[in-house]
Structure formats: C-alpha cells, structure tokens
A and B are shown apart, each in its own frame.
Chain A
C-alpha cells in the first residue's frame, strides 16, 4: 500500500489498510430517506429565514427607537421648557385668580372680519398641566358656509360660551368634575375662516360677506411663536382639521 510520509514499517505496517477494511465491516444503519432529509432542510431554511426576518425587524425597531431617543431629548426640552411667551408674559399666567377666566387679544391674530383675535385662559392654582382647546371654526368658502362660520370671538363670547356654560362645548373636558376640570386651560377660538392655509385680503364672497381678510398663516404662526427653527413642531399643534385659530 502507499504508506504515509511517516514511513512506518514492521508487523503492523498495513494498519491503514486494516483500519479501512475493518471500517467496511461497520454496519451503517438505515438512515432517513432523502425525501425526509430534503423536507427537514426546507424547514430549517424557512426557520432560518424567519429568524433572519425577525432579527432584521428587531434591528430596524431598535434603530428607530435609538433614533427617537436621539431626537426626543430635544423635543422633551421644548415641551417642558418655559411656555411660549406672548407679550412678555408666559402663556398660562393670568391676572385673574385661580379658576377665573381671562381673555387676551394678540396683535398678530386677526379674524376674517379684521377684528382682534386672541385666546382665553383659565388658571388653576397648583396645577402644572395645561390643556389647549381649539374650537370649531367653520371654513368660509361661499355664502352658506360663510354664514355658518364664526367670524369673531372675544371676551364676551368667552364669558357667554365657556365661563357661564361651565366649559360650554368643552364642558365634558374642562367643566367642573370633568377629567381636565382642574387643569390650566387655554381656549383658542377659530375665526380665520380659511383653514389657515390662505392669505388674502379684501375678498368679497359672492352672495356673502365682503371685505374678508383671510390671515390664516400669520394667525397660525402664533402657534409656533416660541418654537425654535429647525425643531420639529408637534403634530396637531396647528392642525387645520378643526379649523381653529390654534
């Protein structure tokens, strides 16, 4: 036989051949049929792919969470920072006593009739929470809709619709005994009539009011008055779906 490089000789110099011959005598039991092996292989491949898919999804999820964690501190900082300052006074403070409502006009806010617009504030002693309530407005598109849409909201309306009515349209939220009844509240009425996307003055609505001033963007901009540039604005803060001034 062709011997290994070790060059062993002697009485057992055919060990390799003897081992090979002896191995041939080992009974190899019947194994699983090839069909079964193929089935097992397919199952393992499927399982491996599933695991890979789950792992990939988990990796994406973790990456997303990590990304959110990177961004969130900035957002949190904004959310819990000092409240927006209007006319040098922090939003949420009011000259009124605890539980009293106060109306404040804001120079940059204008209703579609040109009258001043603003917001109402209710302070609650000891409350750290703030609810911003955006009222229904109604868009002014033609005579019927302009008739329906609110064109003005001021201190009188606040008194009548909210204060005297225990929260009025928001009674279920901010009225006495309601879930947010002991929170600080800011009511932002919608009066621009344009869903805050148009800016046009001196508009005569056919068959409807004339000299309408649609100042949506400048009014809406009040919402983000204290938000630094390049920082994400919270969704819903200026949502037009409720057509309010907030």
Chain B
C-alpha cells in the first residue's frame, strides 16, 4: 500500500529510537516502553497532518508516550514499585560490551525521572538542549543544568563501579 501520508516511513525510521528513549525514560522496561510508543503513535496518527508538520514529530511522540507512561504509573503505583525494583535497563543490553552497558544503565536508572527524560531527549533522540528546553517548556539553562547534574551523577556512579 502506498504510504500516501508518510506515516509508514516515519514509523519505520523512528519507532525503534522512540522505544529506546522511552525505555530510558521509564526506567528500564522495554515492553512497557513499546506499549507506550505504540499508544503515542496512534495518537500521532489521529492528528498526523499537524504532527508531521512539526519541527520534530519524534519529540512530540516521545512526549506523548512519556506522559502516557506517567499516567499509567500513577494509576498503577504497585507496578511502578515493581519496575523500580527490577531495574536496571542493563537487562536489555545485548552486545559484548554488556558489562559496560549494564553499569551505564544502572547509573541512568538512579537518576530522577526528570533527568532521565532529559537524557533520553538529548542522547537517545538527539535533540539539542534548546530543542529539549522547548519540548519541556523550560529555559535552555535549566536543561543544561539538569544535564550537568545528570552527568556528574553518572560519572560518580560509574567511577564507583570502576573502583
């Protein structure tokens, strides 16, 4: 079937990255992140004409998915507690460097929800600090400060792990 509206192409190109970003943002459950991604993609389809015209449709879908996760977790606090316990993200690493990845995700999982969101926006989706700030509706300096704080925390945690 012809991809008349360009959604199929967007889906193929962006879905894996969106799932990864949401996995980071939600603290490690890739299946929950995949569900949230699909839900966000459905919402994007409902208004695809507007979403596709945005500067970063991917960031919009990520934001919708992230909000969906938050709502879901608010409703299911028990599940959230379980998710918190069964972290880290490392379980989903698959390469020979999995030890490094495991350590890194272990550190990321210890970040605050807000800082994980910013890390996902910046390093998984590849948005600039200014774009992240626009998505979150905060000043660019706030994003910079959050990234700095996150990196300090990660550096500290990883250094402890190395030591």
Is A41's CB under 8 angstroms from B42's CB? yes
B135 within 8 A of A: no
Q: Given A5, A19, A29, which contacts B129 in the complex, CB threshold below 8 Å?
A: A5
Size class of the contact patch on chain B: 35 or more
Is B42's CB under 8 angstroms from A44's CB? yes
Distance from A44 Cβ to chain B, minimum over Cβ atoms (Å): 6
Which residues of A (27-50) have their CB < 8 Å from a CB of B?
27-29, 31-32, 34, 37-38, 40-41, 44-45, 48
Q: With a CB–CB cut-off of 8 A, which chain B residues contact A31?
A: 15, 19, 34, 37-38, 41
A20 within 8 A of B: yes
Distance from A216 Cβ to chain B, minimum over Cβ atoms (Å): 62
Closest B residue to A18 by beta carbon equals B104
Distance from A10 Cβ to chain B, minimum over Cβ atoms (Å): 7
B7 within 8 A of A: yes
Interface size on A, residues (CB 8 A): 30
Closest A residue to B158 by beta carbon equals A12
A26 within 8 A of B: yes
Query: Can you list, as one digit per residue, whether each of B115-126 has a CB less than 8 Å from chain A (1) or not (0)?
Result: 000010011101
Q: Given A6, A20, A27, A34, which contacts B94 in the complex, CB threshold below 8 Å?
A: A27
Is B11's CB under 8 angstroms from A37's CB? yes
Is A34's CB under 8 angstroms from B11's CB? yes
Which residues of B (94-111) have their CB < 8 Å from a CB of A?
94-95, 97-98, 100-101, 104-105, 108
Q: With a CB–CB cut-off of 8 A, which chain B residues contact A23?
A: 20-21, 23-24, 123-124
Is B41's CB under 8 angstroms from A37's CB? yes
Distance from A2 Cβ to chain B, minimum over Cβ atoms (Å): 10
Q: With a CB–CB cut-off of 8 A, which chain B residues contact A15?
A: 151, 154-155
Distance from A158 Cβ to chain B, minimum over Cβ atoms (Å): 73
Given A4-B129, A25-B93, does the pair A37, B38 have CB atoms closer than 8 Å? yes
Distance, CA A8 to CA B154, complexed state (A): 12
Distance, CA A41 to CA B158, complexed state (A): 43
With A8-B152, A12-B155, A38-B7 known, 13 other A-B pairs at CB within 8 A are A4-B144, A15-B151, A19-B24, A19-B104, A19-B119, A22-B100, A25-B97, A26-B19, A31-B37, A34-B8, A40-B42, A41-B42, A44-B43
Interface set of A (CB-CB < 8 Å, partner B): 4-6, 8, 10-12, 15-16, 18-20, 22-29, 31-32, 34, 37-38, 40-41, 44-45, 48
A-B contact pairs, 25 of them (CB 8 A): A4-B147, A4-B151, A6-B147, A8-B148, A8-B151, A8-B152, A12-B154, A12-B158, A12-B159, A15-B151, A16-B123, A19-B104, A19-B119, A19-B124, A22-B93, A22-B101, A23-B21, A27-B92, A27-B94, A28-B20, A28-B34, A29-B31, A41-B42, A44-B46, A48-B46
4 closest A-B pairs by beta carbon, nearest first, are A41-B45, A6-B148, A28-B19, A19-B123
